[in-house]
Copies of this chain bind each other. A is one copy, B any other.
Amino acid sequence: MLIGIDLGGTNIAAGIVDLYGEIKHLKSIPTNSERGYEAIVRDIVKLVFELCDEYGIDKSEIKSIGIGIPGIADKKGNVISCVNLNWNDVPLKIDLEEYFKIPVFVDNDATVAALAEFECGVMKGAESGVLLTLGTGIGGGIVLNGEVYSGFNGVGSEIGHMVIGENFYDCNCGKNGCFETFASSTAIIKYSKKLLEETNEASLLKDEIKGDFTKLNAKLIFDFAQKGDKLALNAVTRLIKYLGIGIGNIITIMDPEIIAIGGGISNAGEYLLNLVREEVEKNKNFKNMPIGRIELAKLRNNAGIIGAAMIGKHGIR
């Protein structure tokens, strides 16, 4: 059995996972990230022991532990940067291996989710695939020849920070024009707010939120776009334009067999998928250019736990 841990800014979710990626038992606790690194490490240890107890297996049956983090780890399992948790250069792998005495593997959350999609999701059987998780930001995960690809220093596949244009607000990273400032849920909310503030035209979306911008979310905007609201449609069209540019760039550079779209925005399903496919097709570098398939991710919320378990499986084999 394997343990997969999805370490998020809000919750730490852990699961006992078999070699085929099936979750056998799940448990989740709040992260309370303000407590700092040591307290969270202690909680992770406790969580793993509780998980084994509850499922009724001995710790010796666990072969490895994988952790997906909302940040960047180097190849030695040190977390180089994790903005949400305010972690910089912490030796997560070493610290956890000291407790557990079994191999621990640490990688970016979108990277492990991509591995989950490769092992038992939409990328299954593919030679290469890129997963984009369109949520608060944009996460990127790359699988090449059956293994995750994070680059020489482990800082690659950060596709959300690829610069693709000029935007009216800067990215958290300090740059202007990052992919995630155009095509994440944060991006579409900010742009819709801007449109709502600037327009005097009638809008169903405007009526709905009644000036309370905290009511804006990506689902609402997509729903109103599908109902034909002009303002919401304008915001969705802009997101699709830049999603097309970003995916076009991935094809131009990496040319993967599959590009999978996950994260909250992907809940817009076939409506989103059809618009994106059309946009990417329109923007090919040349007409008869063969390109990979664009699909929706399959594993949704559990991709993080399954993928984390799978980096453990890949690490120990």
Chain copies in the assembled complex: 2
Selected from B159, B161, B177, B251, the residue in CB contact (under 8 A) with A165 is B177
B173 near A253 (CB under 8 angstroms)? Answer: no
0/1 interface trace, chain A 150-163, chain B, CB 8 Å (1 if under): 11111111110111
B255 near A162 (CB under 8 angstroms)? Answer: no
Selected from B83, B152, B156, B292, the residue in CB contact (under 8 A) with A153 is B292
B80 near A290 (CB under 8 angstroms)? Answer: yes
Instruction: Decide yes or no whether A249 CB sits under 8 A from chain B.
Output: yes
Interface of A is mostly: loop
Instruction: Decide yes or no whether A40 CB sits under 8 A from chain B.
Output: no
B152 near A257 (CB under 8 angstroms)? Answer: yes
A80 to chain B: closest residue by CB: B288
A159 to chain B: closest residue by CB: B253
A152 to chain B: closest residue by CB: B257
A173 to chain B: closest residue by CB: B285
A283 near B175 (CB under 8 angstroms)? Answer: yes
Chain B residue numbers with a CB within 8 Å of A203 are none
Instruction: Decide yes or no whether A185 CB sits under 8 A from chain B.
Output: no
Chain B residue numbers with a CB within 8 Å of A173 are 285-286
Jot down 12 A-B pairs with beta carbons below 8 A, ordered by A: A88-B288, A89-B288, A142-B253, A152-B256, A153-B255, A153-B290, A156-B253, A158-B252, A162-B252, A166-B166, A175-B285, A253-B253
